[in-house]
Chains A and B, each alone.
Chain A
Amino acid sequence: MKLVTAVIKPFKLEDVRDALNTMGVHGMTVTEVKGYGRQKGHTEIYRGAEYAVNFLPKVRIEIAVPSDRADKVVDAITSAAKTGQIGDGKIFVTDIERAVRIRTGETDNDAL
């Protein structure tokens, strides 16, 4: 099993969700985060006081998938979340040791 973690631009969330639903992946966890990579922030000015804002709003999506589907999921997210502009984000794939569906007690791939 793999955990696919993607940090993307917030307005791309719906596109990514649609793309994943289309390929039969239902279920994800979404958090609002802040971050930066190569994308510089912007400057805000309040009554003459300037502040450099380096942390930009992003959205983090976490999806647990069977290992054989991980690559397809990564491709789907990549094409849905891409704008071509700096700051599109990154995707990380990590191993999941165990998974449990709380309601039924199903484990591992049956839980995904």
Chain B
Amino acid sequence: MSKPLCRPLSVVAGAALFSFTATPAFAQAAKIDPADTAWMITATALVLMMTLPGLALFYAGMVRKKNVLATMAQSLAALIICSLLWVVIGYTLAFTGEGPVIGTMDRFMLIGMTMDSAHALAKTIPEALFMIYQMTFAIITVALVSGSVAERIRFSAFFWFCVGWLLLVYVPIAHWVWGGGFLGAAGVLDFAGGLVVHLNCGVAGLVAAFMLGTRRGYGTENLAPFNLGLAVVGTGLLWVGWFGFNGGSALGANSRAVYAIVATHLAASAGALAWMLMEWWTRGKPSVLGMVSGAVAGLGTITPASGFVLPWHGIVIGLIAGTICFWACTKLKQKLGYDDSLDVFGVHGIGGLTGTLLTGVFATAAVSATADAPGLPGLLEGNANQLLMQAYGVVVTIVWSGAVTWLLLKVISFMVPLRVAPQQELEGLDITQHGEALQI
């Protein structure tokens, strides 16, 4: 072929070959630190436990008896589908390359990952461990959305939702914030998933709740929780698991992980206290559901900030979380009339949003400083720009999550109705979707 064509062609071919073999995201023969690895294995197990049985119990305890098993099935479905899709294509698109918008196919089916390779973000642990740790985050984010559509979503619709939402919403946002994409590159801070997990699933849940409509009998009939005892047990598993969620996001067994854990625990406690006090004041009695909701609100809100702030900031952030999320789950929900059955938007959405912004306020340079780099300060340390960065991340997440969730559900609705039939909703999802019933 002619010279003018040959050269650009060979350049392109060379670049393609290069991109397939030596991406900056990976290091060969990295120094695996046993302590970091041991902690991260534990953290992975803790975060997995948050979905199963943590979230399964938390959610199932709050729905009516006839829908308990079906609600658990939704967490199970998210777990199964996301685990398999993550290793096939999720991980590679989220965490490889330096593309601003999406990753590469370098780790398609995990090809190229070896026992010695490490991800650039976690050089002291095996890459496979980083991969599976991130998998547990994807799993729980998808599972969380099920709370908004509980007691009325068709299982087949939810199944397809898991497939599409993981790939079209979670993976891009994870890449943008953590995987080398444009939000992280711009300086948006999200330690463990205020944007990627909580605001993301909260917005998606809100959109889904609007699209599916309210449950039959919402506002008129008794939709009281089947067994709040299960919900409390679930909360315990979530709370403890969150030590792995936030602590593990330090990707190492170090002081930063511990600071994150302490801030997390204090935020959970403060969040529970705040919600409890709000209820005591407005209703006359503090409810158990309120206490656990406040705790989860605190946990979700501290998530983006946990590795950037001082532990005592966790108390302040937790108190704010409990108060704001209480308002969102009572006043805001009533005002706008949506049936976000298990308050995914009210707790995780609003919590993630608040926490992401508060990260911009409370970020303390000393916490994130390393030997190579100065830390990241927030508003209280004189850096107002961080707050703007955080708001930028919030807006992008809301827009992408909201729009693509809507589109995905629209497409799914052309294949299968999103909601079960009215008669099925009356009989219950357990028997109509799964052919099973609690024998109690």
In the complex, whether B287 has a CB less than 8 A from a CB of chain A is yes
Q: Which of B128-160 contact A (CB under 8 A)?
A: none
Q: Which of B305-328 contact A (CB under 8 A)?
A: none
Which residues on the A side are within 8 Å of B330 (C-beta)?
Answer: 47-48
The answer for the CA separation of A47 and B294 in the assembled complex, in Å, is: 10
Interface contact B329-A44, CB-CB below 8 Å: no
In the complex, whether A53 has a CB less than 8 A from a CB of chain B is yes
- Which one of B62, B224, B346 contacts A53 once the chains associate, using CB atoms below 8 Å? B224
Interface contact B223-A45, CB-CB below 8 Å: no
Which residues on the A side are within 8 Å of B333 (C-beta)?
Answer: 48
B62 to chain A minimum Cβ distance, whole angstroms, is 8
Interface contact A48-B289, CB-CB below 8 Å: no
Which residues on the B side are within 8 Å of A44 (C-beta)?
Answer: 224
Interface contact B334-A48, CB-CB below 8 Å: yes
The answer for the CA separation of A106 and B350 in the assembled complex, in Å, is: 70
Interface contact A47-B293, CB-CB below 8 Å: yes
Smallest Cβ-Cβ distance to A55: which chain B residue: B222
Smallest Cβ-Cβ distance to B346: which chain A residue: A47
The answer for the CA separation of A44 and B62 in the assembled complex, in Å, is: 14
Which residues on the B side are within 8 Å of A45 (C-beta)?
Answer: 283, 287
Interface contact B289-A46, CB-CB below 8 Å: yes
In the complex, whether A52 has a CB less than 8 A from a CB of chain B is yes
**0 or 1 for each of B207-242: is its CB under 8 Å from A? (1 = yes):** 000000000000000111100000000000000000
Which residues on the A side are within 8 Å of B346 (C-beta)?
Answer: 47
Q: How many residues of B contact A (CB 8 A)?
A: 17
The answer for the CA separation of A45 and B283 in the assembled complex, in Å, is: 9
In the complex, whether A11 has a CB less than 8 A from a CB of chain B is no
Smallest Cβ-Cβ distance to B225: which chain A residue: A46
In the complex, whether A49 has a CB less than 8 A from a CB of chain B is yes
In the complex, whether B290 has a CB less than 8 A from a CB of chain A is yes
Q: Which of B150-207 contact A (CB under 8 A)?
A: none
- Which one of A47, A51, A52, A53 contacts B289 once the chains associate, using CB atoms below 8 Å? A47
The answer for the CA separation of A102 and B254 in the assembled complex, in Å, is: 72
The answer for the CA separation of A46 and B287 in the assembled complex, in Å, is: 8
Interface contact B334-A52, CB-CB below 8 Å: no
B25 to chain A minimum Cβ distance, whole angstroms, is 43
Smallest Cβ-Cβ distance to B218: which chain A residue: A49
The answer for the CA separation of A53 and B343 in the assembled complex, in Å, is: 22
Q: Which of A50-69 contact B (CB under 8 A)?
A: 51-53
Interface contact A47-B290, CB-CB below 8 Å: yes
The answer for the CA separation of A44 and B283 in the assembled complex, in Å, is: 11
Interface contact B224-A51, CB-CB below 8 Å: yes
Smallest Cβ-Cβ distance to B325: which chain A residue: A47
The answer for the CA separation of A91 and B62 in the assembled complex, in Å, is: 36
Smallest Cβ-Cβ distance to B332: which chain A residue: A48
The answer for the CA separation of A49 and B289 in the assembled complex, in Å, is: 12
The answer for the CA separation of A62 and B333 in the assembled complex, in Å, is: 47
A4 to chain B minimum Cβ distance, whole angstroms, is 30
Given A47-B290, A52-B222; 18 other pairs, CB 8 A cutoff: A44-B224, A45-B283, A45-B287, A46-B62, A46-B225, A46-B287, A46-B289, A47-B293, A47-B330, A47-B346, A48-B329, A48-B331, A49-B223, A51-B222, A51-B223, A51-B224, A53-B222, A53-B224
Q: 5 closest A-B pairs (Cβ-Cβ)?
A: A48-B330, A51-B222, A47-B329, A51-B224, A46-B289
Give 26 A-B contacts (CB < 8 Å), ordered by A residue: A44-B224, A45-B283, A45-B287, A46-B62, A46-B224, A46-B287, A46-B289, A47-B289, A47-B290, A47-B293, A47-B329, A47-B330, A47-B343, A47-B346, A48-B329, A48-B330, A48-B331, A48-B333, A48-B334, A49-B223, A51-B222, A51-B223, A51-B224, A52-B222, A53-B222, A53-B224
- Residues in chain A within 8 A of chain B (CB atoms): 44-49, 51-53
